[in-house]
Structure 1
C-alpha cells in the first residue's frame, strides 16, 4: 500500500478538569525524524510517544504538538525564608540604633524583598494527563495515516501511468531493435558497392555486421527493465514502508536506460530513450514523498 509522507492529524481528549489537544504533522524526509513541542511536564513521555508513533508512521519528519488547557495541572505553594526575615529585621534594628534612625520597618518593606519569598510548583494528576495524551495521540496518528493513505492512492495512480508508458516503450523497443541491425547491414552493403567494383567479401561483411549487432544489442537491458517494472508493481502492493525500495529500483531503471542510450546507434531508439528517461524522472519525483 502506497502512503504519502505528507499528512496531518488532530485529536482532542478532555475530562472535567483539563483538555488535551494533540496534532501530528508529517512531511517527507529520508528517515524517521521526530520533533516534539510539548509541555515541559510531559518531557519524560517522549520515548513512549515515539514508540507509539512508530507503530503508525515509519518514515518522514514527524512534528508533534501537544497543548493542555484547564485547571488543576499544578499546585502552587508559597515558601517564606523566615530565617532571612529575622536576619533582615535584626540588621535593620542595629542600623536604627547605630545611626539613631526612628523610622520603623513596614510590612511593605518586607514584601518587596524578592529573595524572601518563592513559589513552589508541583504537578498534580499527571497519570490522568498521560492517559489522555496517549489516547489523543493514537487518534491523531491514525487520522494522519488516513490522510497519508488518501494521498498515497493519488501518487500510486500517477506512478502507474508512467510505469505503463515505460512498459509500452520497452515493448516497442524490443520489436524495433532487430531492425537496426538489418538497416545497418543494408547501409553497409550499399556503401561498399558504391566504392568497390569487384565482388563483395561476404565473410568480411558478416563479421562487421556481427560486431555491430553485438555492440548494439539492448535485449539484456530491456529484459532487466521489464524485471524492474514487475518488482516495482509488486512493491506498490506491499504494506510495509516501500519508499527506499522504489528509489533503488528507479536508480536501476535509469542505469539500464542510460546503457540503452549509449548503445543506440539509431535516431528512433534515441527518441524512445528520451521518453523512458522522462517517465523515470517523473516517477523519481513522486516517490520522494512515499513512505
Structure 2
C-alpha cells in the first residue's frame, strides 16, 4: 500500500521533456564512447603545426617578394630550404647538434638540482624567504648575456663558462616555480595531511610536492627556455679550441655572409625548442589526466 502511495506521489514527467532528456543522455554516452582512430589523432595533432609552417613560409616569401632587402641578404624559402637539407646530410652538422644538446642537457640537469634545492629550502623557511626571495626573482629577470663577462673571467674560455651562465639563467625560474607551487597548495590539503599524521619531511614529500607539481612543471618549462637562450648566447660568445657547436656554425655563417646557412641554423634551433616544448606539453597533459583535469 505504501508503495502505491509513493508511486502516486511521484510527479509525472512531460513526454516531450522525457524525450529530450533521453536524447541528451544518448549524446553524452555517444561522446564518451566514441574514440578517434590513430590516423585521426595523428592528423589532429599535426594539422595545426602544418598550417602554422605553411603560413610562416608564405609570410616569409611575401617579405622577399616585397623587395625590402636584396635576395643575397634575405633569401626566400626556395633558396634556404635546399641549404637546410644539405646541412642535414652532413655528419659534421650532427656532431655540432650533439655537442649543443649535450651542453643543454647537462646545464638543465644541474639547474633542476640547484633550483629544486633552493626552492625547497626557501619555500619552507620564512627567514630564507625574506632574505633570498627577491634575490631569486632578480636573478630570474637578469639578462643571461650580462653574466658572460664575469663567467669568462672566472672560468676563461671553457665549458664551465657556458654551463655557469646556463645554470644561472635556468635555476631561478625552477626555484620560483617550486616556491609558487608550495605557496598555492590548498590549505584544506595541508589540514587533511596533518590530520592523517603527516609532519615535517613526510608532509612535504607526500603532500606538498605532489600538490605543487603542476606549477613546478611550468617552472621547469620556463627554466628550459632560459637555459636554451643562455646556451645559444654562450656558444656565440665563448668559442674555444676546435669545438664546433650550433652557435659556432651560426657565427661562422654570419662571418661569411652566408644568409641561407644562417637561417638554416636558426631553423634547427627553433625546431629543437619546439620539440622540447612538445615534450613538456605531453608531461603537462599526463599530469592533468592523472588529476582528472583533462578537458575533452
TM-score interval (norm. to shorter): under 0.3
Larger radius of gyration: 1
Relative contact order (C-alpha < 8 Å, sep 6+): which is higher?
1
Q: TM-score, normalised by structure 1?
A: 0.23
Greater percentage in helix: 2
Q: TM-score, normalised by structure 2?
A: 0.23
